[in-house]
Each structure stands twice: as structure tokens, then as C-alpha cells.
Amino acid sequence: MVLESLFPAKDIVNKPIDMLILSFIVAIACVFISYFIFPSYAGIIAPLLVTVAMTPVVYRIFSIEEEVERDEAEKKLTLTFFQRHRETILLFSLFFIGNFLAIFLLALVLPQEVATSAFSQQIAEIKLIKSVSASATGSATSDAFFAIITMNNLKVMIFSFLISLFIVTGSFFILSWNASIIAIYLASFIRQGYIDDFFSRSLGILPHAPVEMLAYFLAGIAGGILSLGLVREKLWSPEFRLILRDSVLLMGLSIAAVFAGAVLEVWA
């Protein structure tokens, strides 16, 4: 109720930049709450709390958009993909950026022991990514390693899609988690004084990591769009079939990104 009072859904719809500000504030608050209640698991609890905190606002935003789209149902069939989903993609993207900026700032200003404890899950994930990348360097021609990487990333992608499909705001958890991973990774260079070595030290996970993150991002949006379609539209109506097609298109792009990321990770 407090968030809805400070950031009314109608204001966010009319001025999407408020989503960035809201997600920034919510992310910071959730990190502190998670750390003081569950210090050892704050890194994974915080994205969950962010999702819970954002749910009422997000549902209200979707309700407002549903009213508008209901009045323009016929027009929707003639719009392009990005015209139909521009607002949804924009709001998801601003939410991602707001979370990224919040975690990045906290990772820089918090005492080292607090940051290490609060983001232990993210740090562990980054170490895992680095270790996998190191293994890929030694197995650059291994088709078996390519298959392992691809299957692992496909599992994560499918999970991103399913959690967003069955829980509309599940995509916010995926976006918040990925934003925190990138933020912690980048902040670590500045914190340790490795700014000049950033690019050389990043070669282990670049450029495949951003491509893989994009795959999870697209899968999350695909699930969110389809979930909204199931709620808003009559099953198998022309509008629903259009949304289903758009979701399949996004999943196709997500799968392509998974394969592209695996190729870059193993052979680039």
C-alpha cells in the first residue's frame, strides 16, 4: 500500500521512468531487510522480496493496460510486435536497470564483510561462471563440452520461462537476480582497484555471459507476456493467438541466444 501511494500505477504507466526509481528504492530496501533477517541467504532472499514488494503495483499496472487494450482490441491485431509489447518490455527493462544500479551502489559503499555476506550467493555464481569459462578454454574443440553448456543454459532458460508463465511477476525475480549478478561482478573491479584490468579480467566471461543473460531475459518476458495473455484474453481468440505467436517468437530468439552464447563460450 505504501508503494502504491508513493508510486501510483497510473503515474508509472504515464511516466515509465518512475519504474526505474521505484525498483531502485525497493531493491535497496529489500537487500537491507534480507541481510538483517537472513544474513547468510540475503543474496537470494532479496530478489524474492523485491518480487513480492512489486507484485501489487505490477498487477495494478497490468489492470490499467488491460482496460486500455480492451477498448482497442481490434487495433491491436494490426500493430507490430514492438508496438503491442513496447510498454511491457520498457517497464521490465527499467525495472532491470533500477535493480542493477541499486545493487551496484550497495556493492561499492557497504563494508567489505557486509557486502560479502549479503551477496554471497551472487559471488558464488560468479565464481561458478568463471570456473566453467576456464574449463571451456581448455576444451575449446570439445563438442561434448558444448552440449553440456547448451543443455545447462537451456534448463535455466526454461525455468525463467516457466516461473514467469505460472507467476506473472516471476519474471521480476529472474530480472532482479540477473541484475544483481552483473552489478556485483562489475562493482568488484572498482572495489578492488582493478579498473584498468577490467577488460583483460573480463575476457573469461565476455562476450558469452551477456548473450546468455539476454536469453534468460527474453525467456522471462516471453513467459510474462503469455501469462498476461491467458489472463486478459479469451482462450484461442485472435488476440490470444497473436500473443501466443509473440511469445513463441521471443522463445525462439531466447533459444538462439543460448546456442550463440554456448558457441562463444566454447570456441570464441
In this model, does residue 71 exceed pLDDT 90?
Answer: no
Residues 237 and 265: beta-carbon distance below 8 Å: no
Closest C-alpha among 186, 209, 213 to residue 264:
209
Asked, as a colleague might, if the bond just before 207 is cis with ω within 30 of 0, I would say: yes
The pTM (predicted TM-score) of the whole model is 0.79
Task: Kindly report each contact of residues 231-239 with a partner whose C-beta sits within 8 Å and lies 24 or more positions away, as own/partner.
Answer: 231/62, 231/66, 231/168, 232/62, 232/66, 232/69, 232/70, 238/77, 239/73, 239/76, 239/77
Chain Cα centroid distance, residue 146: 24
**Per-residue pLDDT tens digits for 119-171:** 998 888 888 766 766 665 554 456 767 777 788 888 888 988 888 888 777 77
Rounded to whole angstroms, the Cα distance separating 88 from 95 reads 11
pLDDT band at 185 (very low <50, low <70, confident <90, very high): confident
Average pLDDT, the chain: 79
**Per-residue pLDDT tens digits for 9-63:** 778 878 889 899 999 999 999 999 999 998 888 989 999 999 888 888 877 777 6
